[in-house]
Amino acid sequence: MPRRPVGSAPSPQGAERFHEERAAYTVRGTEQPDLERGVAAIRETVATLPTRPGVYRMQDARGEVLYVGKARVLRNRVANYTQVDRLPLRLQRMVSQTRGMTIVTTNSEAEALLLEAQLIKRFRPPYNVLLRDDKSFPFILLRADHDFPRISKHRGARKAVGNYYGPFASAGSVNTTINALQKLFLLRSCTDSFFSRRDRPCLLYQIKRCSAPCVGRIDAAGYAELVAEAKDFLGGKSSLVQRKIEAQMQEAAEALDFERAAMLRDRLRAATFIQGSQAINAEGLDSADIFALAAKGGQIAIQAFFIRGGQNWGHRAFFPTHTDGLGEDEVLTAFLAQFYEEVPPPRTLLLDRELPEAELLAEALRPSAGGKVEIAVPQRGDRRRLVEQASRNAAEALDRRLAESGTKAKILREVAEFLELPEVPQRIEVYDNSHIQGTNALGAMVVAGPDGFLKNQYRKFNIKRAETQPGDDFGMMREVMARRFGRAVSEDPEREGGTWPDLVLIDGGKGQMSAVRAAIEELGIEDLPLIAIAKGPHHGREGREVFHFPDGREKTLPVNSPVLFYLQRLRDEVHRYAIGAHREKRSRAISASPLDEIPGIGPARKRALLLHFGTAGKVRAASLEDLQRAPGVSAAIAQTVYDFYHPGG
């Protein structure tokens, strides 16, 4: 069987951990799905496998990933798939579709576990347990690359220099904590550009939520002391910080400095509020994550509590998918491996059950945790009570989920009946446009399914075709539809990728429906269900939405209809997303400068030029000698700027 190198997958712990260029190869065939041929393809692969740890990917005839698995001994693990009689029906279906495999060898089984989790999140195979989560976890970031560090909420890659505190369960819990921390430590939350432009304190200083370092109301040493206290507080030394503030308040009162004493009293109240809102009975527990699993009705819920510095930073329920036929221990292990692929683990994990691969998981998490990770199942005391609390929350979350699923399933059936769809929709795409008199125009798409909104599949479309006139809503909708479904036709003409909608809902009336229908027909698509939702002539408390069909018919629903509420929610979500995207685009346009177009001019030099000349227009009109005299601008940069504006010399 021929081998060929495949593209490198990102290493979970850096390029030095393994070398996929040397260790990976693909075995691929062209047969149609069939159990016997699938087994034959796997047997041919087994003959080439080493007795080393690694990760394998099952692939179908098109090369799509069906399953990602890890193994301590690749040859032995993959050979198990050839013993069809011992496989559950779920894996027999997978084997029948398998026509190729990609193999990656690793240095250890722990590395294989990390890579497996990473590849599952990248490929989202249909036969793996999937952690469905639309958003990354929010953190509190205390920057360290400025003389007066900023405190802010942070999501995504942790590239900025500073201290990260989290994860928090929700953006709301982060915002509440940051507001209280501002009152407690008076740290700035403004951007560096806003900070540099201030010549008088802003409103946050007036309401005692900032110490106004931007205008010198506090010096660098005093601000550094506040930052140190904030780090101690967030790091679990809240009692020490409170005692220090109490002592300072007492000293101020004895010195008859009642204004300072009142300010310190307010800070002390903020500290008490934070501790009260995050209180949890976790004596002796510094930083830990607590997980408990509940299963019912073929679904699984996993409840997570996040404790950092002895404080509860929130909790969240997760509902992993593709769990049919798997043991609960296997689901929880797969969940934890994927969960910590992005989130830094604490040194302690408390679970409600023993995991067969607990030692392997602890070994895999050790590098990102910065030390030994303890995975424990408490049997008594406060830790046991915390796990029991997580178990109760998991069971309650699952009950709510099942009740909501039943309600949503019923509503979707009624949606299909009302909108005359051939089947219950599993993927609904909703579209809207946003612009101001034709400027900064864009289209927006949101996606909903049986489990709610799929926010990681939302899309924005910048209106950029020359034939689309500014302010032409119908033209913008035609462009959005042509681009969206033109790409769908070219990339997935057989509609096997799961990205074709079962219903397209348009925010608009007859005009938008005509524009969309024309764009779809030009692409040769005739069976895409289209519905436009528009406000009725008497919209308001007694008004009704009007639903426009492609054939010109109109329908309405009673004002108290659950189906109407559901469809309005879809429309409102795309409206919210479109307006937010438009505001973001408009803000970028407002803050843009003609200097941005000059190659080689970064933020620092742009700032230096604007500070020296005042406006971009004066930079354009400046002579070469004037440009060379600007502080922070070298002769080469001055020549670059001058040549850009005076190409003829």
Reported as a single tens digit per residue, the pLDDT across 474-487 is 888 888 899 899 88
How far is residue 519's CA from residue 477's CA, in Å, rounded to a whole number?
Answer: 9
Q: Is the pLDDT of residue 28 over 90?
A: no
Q: What are the C-alpha distances in Å from 631 to residues 33, 635, 637?
A: 69, 11, 12
Whether 386 and 350 have beta carbons less than 8 Å apart is answered as yes
Provide φ and ψ at 8, rounded to 5°: -70, 135
Q: Is the pLDDT of residue 384 over 60?
A: yes
Can you give the pLDDT at residue 250?
78
Can you give the pLDDT at residue 15?
38
In this prediction, residue 74 has a pLDDT band, given cuts at 50, 70 and 90, of very high
Name residue, tokens 């997570």.
304
Of the listed ranges 279-293, 310-324, 626-640, the one predicted with least confidence: 279-293
Q: Is the pLDDT of residue 541 over 80?
A: no
Neighbours of 616 (CB within 10 A): 16
Q: 522 is written with which tokens?
A: 């030009």
Q: 472 is written with which tokens?
A: 């032409």
Can you give the pLDDT at residue 352?
93
Assess whether the previous peptide bond of 167 is cis (omega < 30° from 0). yes
Of 312 and 110, the structure prediction assigns the larger pLDDT to 110
In this prediction, residue 551 has a pLDDT band, given cuts at 50, 70 and 90, of confident
Nearest to 135 by CA among 178, 175, 170: 170
- Positive or negative, the CA dihedral 496, 502, 507, 509 is positive
SS3 226: helix
Mean pLDDT of all residues in the chain?
81
Provide mean pLDDT across the span 9-29.
42
In this prediction, residue 283 has a pLDDT band, given cuts at 50, 70 and 90, of low
Provide φ and ψ at 151, rounded to 5°: -110, 135
Of the listed ranges 82-91, 527-536, 587-596, the one predicted with least confidence: 587-596
SS3 282: coil
Provide mean pLDDT across the span 413-432.
91
Q: List CB contacts of 185: < 8 A, sequence separation 6 or more.
A: 151, 226, 227, 229, 230, 233, 267
Of the listed ranges 44-53, 589-598, 615-624, the one predicted with least confidence: 589-598
Provide mean pLDDT across the span 321-349.
88
Of 285 and 417, the structure prediction assigns the larger pLDDT to 417
SS3 646: coil
Name the helix (H) or strand (E) containing 576: helix 562-591
Can you give the pLDDT at residue 630?
82
Provide mean pLDDT across the span 152-177.
80
In this prediction, residue 591 has a pLDDT band, given cuts at 50, 70 and 90, of low
Q: Is the pLDDT of residue 51 over 60?
A: yes
In this prediction, residue 25 has a pLDDT band, given cuts at 50, 70 and 90, of very low
What is the full DSSP assignment across 329-390? HHHHHHHHHHHTTTSPP-SEEEESS--TTHHHHHHHHHHHHTS--EEE---SHHHHHHHHHH
Can you give the pLDDT at residue 355?
92
CA atoms within 13 A on the CB side of 90: 11
Q: List CB contacts of 72: < 8 A, sequence separation 6 or more.
A: 53, 109, 112
What is the full DSSP assignment across 440-451? EEEEEEEEEETT
How far is residue 271's CA from residue 238's CA, in Å, rounded to a whole number?
Answer: 8
Q: Is the pLDDT of residue 132 over 70?
A: no
Q: 288 is written with which tokens?
A: 């830990």
